[in-house]
Every structure is written in C-alpha cells, then in structure tokens.
Structure 1
Amino acid sequence: MNDAAITRPNTYAQIRIREPAGERTFGAELTIGGEGAQVVVPGAPAGEAVTVVRRDGVWTIEPAPGAAVRVNGRPLTEREALRRGDVLSVGEAQVVVNTLTRTLLRLDVVHLVGNATIPPVGAVVALPSDREDDDLEIRIAPIAPGAAAAPEAPEMPSVPLVARTGAVAYRRWIALGSAVLLLLAALLLMSSLEPVALDLDPADARVSTPGTLVSLRLGERVFVLPGEHELRAEREGYRPATTRVQVVPGGETTARLRLAKLPGILEVDTGGIEATASVDGVEIGRVPGEIEVAAGTHTITLSAPRHLDFATRIEIEGGGARQRLEAKLQPDWGTVRITAEPPNARVSIDGEERGTVPAVLEVESGVRRVELSAPGHKTWVSSIVVKAGETLEIGPVTLGQPDARVTVRSTPAGADVAVAGAYRGRTPLTLELPSGMSHDIVVTLAGHQSWHRTVRAEPGARTTLDARLEPVLAKVIIEGAPEDAQLFVDGAPRGRTPTTLELTTAEHRIEIRKEGYLPFETRVTPAEGLERRVSYKLTSSDRAQALLESAPVIHTKGGYALRLVPPGTFMMGSERREQGRRPNEVHRQVTLKRPFYIGVTEVTNAQFRAFRPGHMSGYVGKNTLDLDAQPVVRVSWDDAAAYCNWLSEQEGLPPAYELVNGRYVLKRPVTTGYRLPTEAEWEYAARYVAPGRLRRFSWGDELPVVAQAGNLGGAEAAMFLDAALDGYSDEYVVTAPVGKFPANPLGLHDMGGNVSEWVNDYYLSFVDDKPATDPLGPEEGTRHVVRGPNWRTANVADLRLAARDGADAADYTIGFRVARYAE
C-alpha cells in the first residue's frame, strides 16, 4: 500500500513502526511511552506518554496528562495533526514521521542512548533544575595534607570536576548523525527510482503498488525501483483495475489503467405482478425485486402473461447507486360476450374450442378469428378486434342453412375456375356455394376455349362438373446451333432440333439439351394465326461440369455451407404482362459464365456473432429474433460486407471489398474472396429449377401458395400485418431457424421467405434491358438491392422471385447470405 491508497470509512488503515529491534505493524491507533505502552522507549516513565490515532481520515497525536512530550522541539500540550517529517521526543527516543497517507502511517523510532548507564568522569551530583540541559559546575574542596579522611569517604582527586547534565547534548549529536545517515540513504534510494507514467480513466483514480516496498507518486507519475511491478487503480463506484509493468533504468514506461463503472441497482415495483425484465431487448431477470443494470441510458421492458408490455427509458447512474422504478402493468385481455341461434352453437377463437353460446369469454387483445358452428347449419366465421379492458358484444348471430358442395374437374387439369366472375382456384376444385340460388361457373385455361355452366345450389347438395377444354393451336419453329439437340416442351420430350411444332396458345417452357453443353431455356407464347420462332446457341459446359463433380459443396472454417451454381443463360426480371409485375423488373437476357458458390442458408446469429460477438438481432413484440439458429437481422449492407472480408481473412483469400471514404465497395476485377451474391446470381439461384428452366415463385409458377412454401406472412403473424396470406400458416410468428423449409432444386433454403436478403448491387429503378454477361450492377449509388420475400410478406406481387427493392439501412426483416466465385 502507498500514497495512492483510497480512503473510505471502512478502508483498512495501519501504522508501521521501524525500531532498532525490527519492524512491526499496528492498526489505526498506537500508544508510545514506558512500561505498559504498545511501543516502549528508553527514558520514558511507565505508562502511555502519547497516543497516535486516525480520526476522520486524519492522523493525530494526543499527549497523556502530565507527560513530557515534544514535537519539533516544542512541548505537546493538546491534540495535533501529524505531518510528514514531524519529530516527536519521548523519553530518550525520537519518533520520526517517515510516510503519511490517509490509510498508512510509517514511523521510525530512534533510541538516543542504550539502556545501560554511562559511567561519569568524576563525582556527579544531581540537583533539581527546571532546565534539563543546564550545565551545573560543582567544585569539591581539596583535603588538607595530613588531615584524616572520613573512614567511609572514598579518596577524591584534588583537582576540580565539572558535572554536566550533558546527556541531552550527547543525544542530540547522536540524533543529528542518524538523521544525516538516513538522509544520505534516502537520497541514494531516490536516485535509484524510475518513473512510470500513469494513463488513468477516470483520471482521479487512486493508484497503489501492492508488493512494492518503495514507491512514490508525484502528480501523474509513480516512482519505483527497476524491476517488475503490479499497479492497482481504485475509485469508489468502479471496479478496480490492475496491470503489470517492467521498469528498466532510463526507460520510458506507461501504465494504462481503465476502470469499469459498477452497475446500478434498480429496484422494480410491479405491484406484485411477476414479470420478466429485459434491458435493451436482453432478458436479465424476474421482477418485482432488484436487478443490476449497467450505467447509461437503457430501455427497460417488463413482460408478464396476460398484460401489455411495459417499456420505459431510464438513465442508470451506475457505481452501485440505487434507483427505483414503479411500473403499472396494464391488463392485455378484453371480454367477449356472444349470443347466437340456434342455442348451444359451439364457439372457437383462433381455432381453440371455448364452449357453447351464450358465452362470456376473456380473450387476449388483438385481432381474433371467431367461429360459430352447429350441426345442420352453416358455420359463421368473422374476425374481431379485442381491446384490453373493454367488453365486445357479438350477436345475436343466426346460423344459416348449409352450403351446397360443387366439385369442378377439367381436361386438361389445372384450369382456372371463376364463380360469378370471382377467381376461386384451379381444377380439380371443390366449392362451397350459398344454397337457394344459381351460380355461374366459368373454367378457363390458356391456349384452350373457355367452358361455362350455371348451377342451382340446393342446401347440403353435392354436385360434380366435368369440363372438357378444346385446345387452340399455333405454329412454333425451333432452330439454332448446334443442331440435333434434344427438345423439351413443358418438360416433355418433343424430338430433336431443328423442328416445327403446333402448340397451344399459352406460355410454354422451351428447353434444349445436348451432351457437353449447358442447357438453354426460354419461354414462348404462340399466337393464333401467327408464326413464332425460337433461336438458341448452346455453351460448352466442360469446366462447370468438372467443378460440379469435384466440389459441388464447400464449407467455411466455421462450417457455413455453400453450393456450386453452374454457369447458364436466363431471362432476368419479368415480362410486361406478368401479374404483379413492377416497372423496375426489367426483362433482359443475362449470361453467367463464371461458376460461383452461394450459401445454402442465410447467415445465422451464431455465425455472425463469431465475427461480432456483441451483435443482437432484437425482438418484435414478445418474440425474439436473436436465437442462434435464426437468421441475423438488423445488419447494414456494410456490416454484411465486413463479415465477408472477415471470412476471406480466416481462409487466406483475397478480400472482395475495400474501404473507400468509410464505405465498403466491391473490388474490380472481382476476387475469389467471399462476398454478397450479385443481383443476377441471386435471382438465377432462387428461380433455378433445372438447366434452362426457371420458376416464378419459390414453390412453382402458379398460385395459390402451397403448404410449406416458406416462412411468409401467414395467419400466425397477423398481429403484425395489415392483412395476412389467406389460408396460409407456417407456424412461425417471426423469423424461423434457417433451413426449416424445403430446399429449392439447387439445394438452397429460404430463398423465398424468412428474411429478405442484401445483394451486392447498388439499386437503380430502371436497368438497361440489353443482354449482359456476369453483371455487377452500377459502380456507385446510395442504396443497395434487397431481394426475396420475408416473414412479413403477404402481398402476392412481392412473393414473386423477380420482385426487387432497395434499402439503405438495417432492418429486422433483412439478412444476407454469402457467395464467392469458384475460380
């Protein structure tokens, strides 16, 4: 412990005494005097002469009544504060204040004489005197010659003797010599000390040197002897910090000590309601009660079953300070009162049976789906909005007669069915039609003549309709190089090229294959009375095939899998008449010559936290986005680019991005390091079905959305959406763990759901429609392209894999996956 020790009421204080017999350590109080005192000095009468004690952080001395004690040569008559260098005279000893801090007092005790009596040089007569250092001369008369001496008197010299009380002068010479020797030793020691510069935060922290015998702090430096030393910084309200330094003669040494502020204690009063407490989205404990919160401004969220979340921002002082938060949690349920005819109709809310009518039910707030059903009656279904603390009246509801059931089949199958002009689905299809009236049913299929019937719906009746659709044909000529290639139309073999076909006037997928070449795929829509021509040119696939056979899948050091995508040519974007198309989806031919790898899944929270441990994806309502297996979100495009460079560094690959004016940009020419996929690569990988064949949605080319299509805006996410996908459910309210839904034909998961994904390109609304090879997008911009639907997507137009958008900031619906060139 040294001058930098901290002082508090409960801090340990001590007195160290250095005596001729050795060194001792005492507590915060010490007595000095004769027999019976803690420190016994020669020449002092029995008992305590002076008390040294620490009062309110100040070292003081107090004389005992009647004791002869001097301080710095003057009598000590009352309590005084000690200072460094003070000298106390007690008996035949001097006590020197060597070191004085608020918690340490070091005293050196010097005995001016030994315990043995110094023999006199002549007869000494002791006379009382008020001044102990007065010289008294006593002359003894000489004895006359021949005179008889007294028998008991010793023979005395005939010369005069001088008796002095010179012991004090002698002691002063001894003390002066000792002081000179101590000063010389101190100067020699001081000349050996080396400075250590202090870099402290906070700057007023106290510094000590545990285990170091000699240390001295002056200003922003600590002086110690050469060698290895431990420095410790302390301050009230902060955690101590330590460091070790190696001090060499003549060298420059700096000790950097950073103290972390202690957390604050927040006492949370919820009125007795048990709740989970989260700080900035991270769960930290249960309340009511006390929780520790780091210093600073934080968002405190309290979540309790059947109550609305309570959230507030609060400034935490930290440093162990106690603060109080009173939170009034509001109920999160309302009352629903339902009446209906017939009585005893069954009630279900959000698919859960809740009894029969009449009913008074407690229901959680939000949008709820209510069903009333009874045998022989039509089920009544409605969506209601339940408000916390309010009562909602429903009814009386009268259940009507059961619908008629009509099954519509067609040849060929897959035709569109409309009832009274409203689209109802594709054949084969079973319809529930209101009874007691007639319905117009129309069946249509592209390239075929339409079919029409009017049906009378009787209560509970079951009817089957068979529609035979007549085709409308037109001529299509197929030609190109090399010839004698296999021709497939809509996946079915149709001979070899060149050839002329009669096809229905609907869109057809044309695929041309030949061994040793990459397949070619396009779409054509014949028109009655017109001749269509399809020209092709196949590209050699030797290198791509070799890669596909030798390394179809690679893994990063962290285990992230990427799958090879072979080169190919495809039509990017969407045609003008595609339903749901937007103007920014320019339709153009794109060729990808360089084989590339793309991530099998989106990057997860766990994988991203290996790069940036402190990242948190957060919450939506009470639903976490931050589980290890969920895709990372709330990352910017630059965050994703930095992660790619980090992956490249891990594997010794050249980085794909470089920093320019504080922002990442893609290096050109493009390296083989990890990067984000280009927009063209992403769309090709997402829509790929087979060589030369693409699809419109992640599940195929047609609506409606099929089961397990992906994590989309289904019924479970309705509370966060204006409208959910009708009739679709995927079990996940927010993001799902990656890879939970079926992979596409390339083996890639979640290209059509879960989170939208950053891609490499800068975003432009209108793209050149000229053919392009390995396009990288614009060289500059302010926003980047985002592709693919996410867990909130409920708009059919946005479900299409050709849909595109731009963004310039992180969002809880945007993540990313990684790509890189194969060579």
Structure 2
Amino acid sequence: MMKNIVRHLYAASAAVLLLAAGCGKEANAVRKPEGTMSISSNPSGATITIMRKNIGVTPRKTNPVPPQMYIVKIEKDGFEPCWVPVTVEDGRDVPVEVRLRPITAAAMLTSDPSGAKVLKDGKEVGVTPCVLTNLGVGPHSVLLELQGYSPQQINWDISSGRPFTEHTILRSNTGTLRVDSLPSDASLYIDGVPSGRTPVSVKVAHGERAIRVEKRGYETFNTAVMVKREETASTFARLKMQPIPISIQTDPSPARISVNGKYCGDSPCVFRAEQAGLYSIRAEKDNFSGATQEITVAPGNKYDISLSLESELGALEFLTIPSGVEVFVDGKPYGKTQADSKHGHISKVFRIEELPQGKHTLKLTHPRALKNDRVKTFQVTIRKGKTTRKETVEFWVPNAILQLKNGFRQEGRVLDFESDPITFEPKPKVRSEYPRAEIKEILRIKEEE
C-alpha cells in the first residue's frame, strides 16, 4: 500500500517537473502516456498554479503531463481566484477557459447629521445613510456635502469583498448674522441673495459676507461682515433718506415760493425735502393774493403742487373824441388813443391792464385842444378782477378851416363833412350852418396831430 502511494507521488512530481521544464529529449524508453492543457482566461494575464507550482500566465499551453486529474488555480489581482479540475487524457490537449469575476465590495456611509449628499467622481450617488455597491479593488473616495457644514472627503481601499463602513461627523461651517436697520423693515441681501427684512437673524456660511440693505426712498447701505463658525456677527444699517421732490407750479407764473417760511425760488420749481413730515408751501406775486397749501410727504414718493393766485388788479377802459389823446395814470404815461376808421372821429377803446385795486388819477391831454380845456383829470376806482369803464371823454379840437366864397375864412370844427348844409363850430357849443353852395373850400386838419 505504501509503495503504491510513493509511486503515484513520484509520477505527479515528475509531471510537474515536465510542465515546468518544457519538452526534454525523448527518452530511449518506450513512450509513456501523456497529454497537455491549453489554459486561457478573461481577462488574460492571470497566474496559473498547478500542484503549488507557478507555471506562467494565461494564455499558456502546458508541457505534456501524465494522464490524470489536476487542480488548476488561476488568479489575478482584482479578481476572485478560480480553481478548475482538469482531467488530462493520453494524446489529447484539454482546453481550459476561465472567466474571472472581479472582486467587488460594498461601502456603507453614514453621517451626523444625516442627509448629506454623497459625491463620487463629481457625481451625486446618494444621500447619507447610503450604501454603495459593486466597488472594485483599489482606492475609493467620496465627498460629503450638506448645506451649513464643511464638505468632508472620505478615502478607503478595497482589497477584498469585505464591506467598508464609515460614520462621519460633519463640522458646521455656519454662523449667525444679525442685521438691524433704522428705519426697520428694509430688504436684506446677503451675497446678492434676498435674505428677509430687518431686523433679521440668518444662518450663513462662515467667512466674509457682502451685506446690502435697501428701502424705498433711502440710499442703499453696503458693508462686509466677517462671520465665524458657530458665532453671531451683527451689523447696523443707518439708512440715509433720499430727498423727497415736491414739484411746485403756479398760475400765473413766475411767483415767489417759500417752504415753511423760507424762500426757495420762483415757480415753476422743485423743492427737495430732506425729512419726511408736514410742509407748508406758499406762493406770492405782486398784485396777486398769496396762496398756501400744506402737504405731508413720505420717503420714496414724488409730489406735485399747483397753486392758483387770484389777481388783485383790475382794468380801465374808455373812448376819446377825438383820437390822439395822451393818457396818464398816476403820472405814468400809457400812450395815445388810436383812431377808429369805422367810427370817424371817435377813438378805439383804450384799455389799461393790471392796475392795482383802489383809487387812481386818470389824466388825459390833447396838444391842440383849447388852452383852458387841454388837460382833463379824473378820479377812477379800480376793483380787484374787474374792468372799470369810464364814459367817453371829449376834447374840442379844430378839425377844419372853412373858407366861403364871399372871402370868409375861419378855423373850427365840422361836425359832418358829408352833410349839406355843413354844421360848423368856430368854438365850443357855437354852431352855424352853411349850404355847400356858399362854401369855396374846407381844409381838413388831422385831430390827432
């Protein structure tokens, strides 16, 4: 029995030596029974071990070996080793084909707090708690991200199918930012992002944060605040009010404008209030009654004010006979009355505007009127917003030289140059009539001269 065992061991050892040594010289002895194995793997390059002897890598054809059963081990880094029983027959080549299975493992990742995004190779693959499967042999790395916490990287190596577990305590990367403002209820922007209305406390990432505070009617407040992890940083925004425009119009214009008793210009004008509140707007103009309006203004608004002024002036109208009469009011000259072609010797209506209300002295004079009647003076009363109409004022002014056929010649007034007989006044209220047959010539004199 012992001799048989020794004989088989000797034969197996000899076969392995033949596999390793290759084809030797043919023995002079009678041919022994033997066969071969053609070993391949997917992937190739796997190590081949038979009877604890490394005989090379796939693909490989073995040297001839005695017919019997062999256990062939095929292994490659990153893949599960494979043992294949192969029976070698005399005179045959036995094909051995093996598909190696990659070594994979799972990783269970947890975090405190949970809910962190798990990023592998830049792609999100889950949220903690998270199990990653089918991980190949070699180094692996993931990044855990959670808002309000610092990103944290986890590294591990897989060399077997044994699961990997990792629990990570995330470190907060936020602090508290407290923002107050005067006035309050202003819009807060942190790093350009709307973040509520003042007063407000906001959790923000640590580091320097850009603060912007805005409120309608106020200038924008900008600052930078350094926020530390798990600490509170505060800032106070004292907002400066933008001037509040008040546009002021008057009828008529221009008029003197005062705000709260202080002169600020002539209308039309724009007053810019530096503070919110009540303002008294007053408009004044010579010979007009003043007008006042009160207005309460608030930041962020525009206001339009219109004030109507009532004139305290009046007007004076009159006619003169003849035209060419010089006109004076309170010693101020206003020109001469003009002839009216439609009404002969009567002037056009003479009108004087913008006379202050009250009593005034009207003086009329004609250079060719009778000496004792050359100047006429009247007292007239002007009423606010009214027109005073005075009766027609008449001067006796010669308008013709009458020459009769009998040699009579005299200067005076002809009442109607077209009539027959002609009525002639040599002096006021003294009239004579002359038939045209007795008249040699009538020389006209311009009354306005």
Confirm or deny a common fold (TM above 0.5): no
Q: Judging by fraction of residues, say which structure has more strand.
A: 2
Q: TM-score, normalised by structure 1?
A: 0.23
Decide which structure has the larger Cα Rg and report it: 2
- The structure showing larger relative contact order (alpha-carbon pairs under 8 Å, at least 6 residues apart) is 2
